Structure 1
């Protein structure tokens, strides 16, 4: 249980933050216009991901999936920035 809980808390937060960052960067217009909406959506999204982490069979699977998805989302955010698709 503790493994799933910490997976929801640590990589779950990183995943939620990266998804909010992707939302802010991909939305038309300047990213600053999505800052307040992103901050409002971050906590419910994080709690949803933390709740989903308890659906995994073990803490190791939760860490693997959520950590992998968080790394993938961060890589996508970095790729958008590195290629110049977003300012």
Structure 2
């Protein structure tokens, strides 16, 4: 149970951070206009990721899934930045 909670807290934090970055960068227009709404959305996204960690059968699956989704999110952010798709 503790390792799932730790997966939700640590890996969920990075997953919520990647999702927050995507929420800020994906809408059209400058990202500065979406900064405040995306920062407001960070805490609920982090709580959802922490709750999601308890839906897995094993702590290893929770860690791998949450960390993998966070890595994919940061990869998408990096790809958006490298391609110049964000302003």
In the TM superposition, 1:53-68 aligns within 5 A as 53-68=53-68
* Structure-2 residue corresponding to 1:30: 30
* Structure-2 residue corresponding to 1:78: 78
CA RMSD of aligned residues (A): 0.7
**Do the aligned partners of 1:3 and 1:58 also contact (CA within 8 Å) in 2?**
no
Q: How far apart are 1:2 and its partner, in Å?
A: 1.0
Q: How far apart are 1:39 and its partner, in Å?
A: 1.1
In the TM superposition, structure 1's runs of 4+ consecutive aligned residues that sit over 6 Å from their partners are: none
| Rounded Cα–Cα distance in structure 2 between residues aligned with 1:9 and 1:78 | 23
Normalization by structure 1: what TM-score? Answer: 0.96
* Structure-2 residue corresponding to 1:18: 18
Q: Which runs of no fewer than 5 residues in structure 2 stay unpaired?
A: none
Q: Which runs of no fewer than 5 residues in structure 1 stay unpaired?
A: none
SS of the equivalent of 1:54 reads: helix
Aligned residues: 87
Normalization by structure 2: what TM-score? Answer: 0.96
Say whether 1:7 aligns with 2:7: yes
